[in-house]
Structure 1
Amino acid sequence: MSFTWTAHRFAGGALALDVANSIVLRFDPARRIDRFADVTAMDSFAEAANRFGAENPRFGLLAPVPAENRARLLHLREATDRHFRAEISAKGRPELLADLLEAIAAVLRSATVQGDRLPLDTATAQSALSLAAAAEPERLKICPNCGWLFLDRSRNRSRTWCDMAVCGNRNKARLHYHRNREETGR
């Protein structure tokens, strides 16, 4: 199955969150899709992050993950997701932070520089570390439509959707459909 990364796939606002969001419908076993299960999609993620990622100026151009580091990136992705979901739900657990920090350390210990490009796994570890140290955890949110993690960078912290053009519109369409059904009695 071929897959193309689009700007919507980088709605998390931080590279570590975009990587965590590479699992679509994470909590629906019947429809869950791991975009990194396909090595070519994982490799093309770095190039797409160069075009669409919110943090791409910070890390410069990203390179794909070296083959020997792919498992570490997947472990980091899962530790990132578990830790930040717990933080958002105000059920922060020290062992999840420890898991995240260990995953970050494992990636950084194995870091390799590829010319003038930082590998995706190394940049993701740095992004996750920055998020974990952030002074404003209330800016981390979960999209009520798709379940993705995202940073609310709005001035008044009122952002609801990971991407208004996709998830916000889907919710509006769903509400409109149900409202019309109720009015017509069908």
Structure 2
Amino acid sequence: MKFSWTPHRFAGGALALDVANSVILRHEPDGRCDRFAVPEQLAAFPEAASRLSAEHERFGGLRPVAPENEALFLHLREAIDGYFRRRIVGEDSRIQLADLLEACATALRAAASDDSLEAATAHSALGLICEPQPDRMKICGNCGWLFMDRSKNRSRTWCDMAVCGNRVKANRHYHRKKKEVSP
């Protein structure tokens, strides 16, 4: 399957969320796909994030993860997902917060520079922890990705209206028409 880092892949609204969203269909064992499991995709991510991430001005010119830091970077990704997903649904997330803070500290200590993907991701995650409006962080009603709802009335339901929103609406339309046709 051909894959490229398109603007939709950066719909999270923050670098840390885009990194967490690199696992497609995270909670579906049969459909789960880790984009960073393919070395070429992990290597291409920093350049794409430097152009397409909502934080590209803050974290432009990202350097790839050093090979010796790949495991800690993936641990950071999972800590980001674990903490923010629990926080969004209102579950006690103290343990996940401690894990995330430890993962951020480890990534920052190991990073060769502030412009490495692991350091920038840690900085982005730390910024999200302090987000002044935590209720703006949501889980997409279609794909399950994490995203920041920056809409004026905080009414976004999907990470990307052009992709997930259209899929949900098309699916509803299909089932409505199917119901009209069947006896």
Shorter-chain TM-score range: over 0.9
Q: Deviations over 1:119-145 (max 9, x none)?
A: 111100000000011121100000010
Query: Within 5 A, what are the aligned runs for 1:1-150?
Result: 1-113=1-113, 118-150=115-147
The Cα shift of 1:2 comes to 4.3
When structure 1 is superposed on structure 2, of 61-70 and 165-174 the one drifting more is 61-70
Structure 1 segments (4+ residues) deviating >4 Å: none
Contact 1:161 1:167 in 2 (8 A): yes
TM-score, normalised relative to structure 1: 0.95
Contact 1:83 1:92 in 2 (8 A): no
Distance 2:127 2:62 in 1: 17
Query: Which segments of 5 or more consecutive residues in structure 2 lack a partner in the other structure?
Result: none
Distance 1:175 1:72 in 2: 41
Q: Counterpart of 1:165 in structure 2: which amino acid?
A: A
Distance 1:26 1:59 in 2: 26
Distance 1:93 1:10 in 2: 25
Distance 1:65 1:46 in 2: 8
Q: Deviations over 1:100-128 (max 9, x none)?
A: 00000000011212xxx711111000000
Contact 2:51 2:60 in 1 (8 A): no
Q: Deviations over 1:31-58 (max 9, x none)?
A: 1000000111001000111121100101
When structure 1 is superposed on structure 2, of 163-172 and 131-140 the one drifting more is 131-140
TM-score, normalised relative to structure 2: 0.97
Distance 1:125 1:2 in 2: 29
Query: Cα RMSD (Å) of the superposition?
Result: 1.1
Say which SS state the counterpart of residue 161 (structure 1) adopts. coil
Contact 1:62 1:118 in 2 (8 A): yes
Contact 2:136 2:148 in 1 (8 A): yes
Q: Deviations over 1:1-47 (max 9, x none)?
A: 54211110000000000000000000111110000001110010001
Query: Which segments of 5 or more consecutive residues in structure 1 lack a partner in the other structure?
Result: none
Distance 1:3 1:100 in 2: 29
Q: Counterpart of 1:181 in structure 2: which amino acid?
A: K
Say which SS state the counterpart of residue 150 (structure 1) adopts. strand
Q: Counterpart of 1:106 in structure 2: which amino acid?
A: T
Q: Counterpart of 1:178 in structure 2: which amino acid?
A: H
